[in-house]
Amino acid sequence: MLRPDAAFRAGAAAFDAIADDIALPTGGTGKGDFAALMRDVKQEVTDFIENGGGDSDAVMGLDAAARAYLARQGMAPAAAVEAAGAGVPEDGLPADGRAFLDAIAPLAAETGRRLGVSPDILAAQAALESGWGQRPIRQSDGRDTHNLFGIKAGGAWQGDSASIATTEYEGGAKLTRSERFRSYANPGEAFRDFGRLLLDNPRYQGALNTGSDVAAYARGLARGGYATDPQYGAKLARIAARLQSGE
């Protein structure tokens, strides 16, 4: 939902004018990197505005450049921006990000061998879907569903599930609706179920045996209709590149 206040309307309209106000991340090599960064940051800020973001959880999910822009423009509460920034150390990972990666590393390695996909890519996908383990899908009573890959509970699902509000894209339009998601007893079950989903469903064959090629993996998922977010592949690639580089 679009926030009606003037600051958010003005911020969205003026975004194209901020190119000189955002620095390239460390390691940026030129105009191509800057253009890609601008596209990603613009999309993140636009999504933030349209979703009426503003609390620490919403800001936490943004890249450093997007958080910096919001802070300068006064488009999010200062406390929320500071809280999010404090949770992201110099290595670019959020608070407890390393602990999250360490905890799922054996599961990512096992599933990666089954799928022929780099464990770093699977870890990046789990981080993207769960907000680095800090924004899990929960049952109504607060229990963690351990659904690290955002897998919905279709009609054939016989296990436990949880219903939450989620954002989907249809024909380029962003919609919010309630969906049922699978619930697991632990992260291991989540990884194993995710592996079965990709191996058993012909739609995702293009994602298998892609090794460390995150672009090919993301294309395989997209062709199978894994996620409706048009930026899903770019977000996954950004996190995976960070993990693969060891930053």
Active-site positions read 168, 193
Residue with tokens 């679009």: 2
- What are the two backbone dihedrals, phi and then psi, of residue 183, each rounded to the nearest 5 degrees? -125, 135
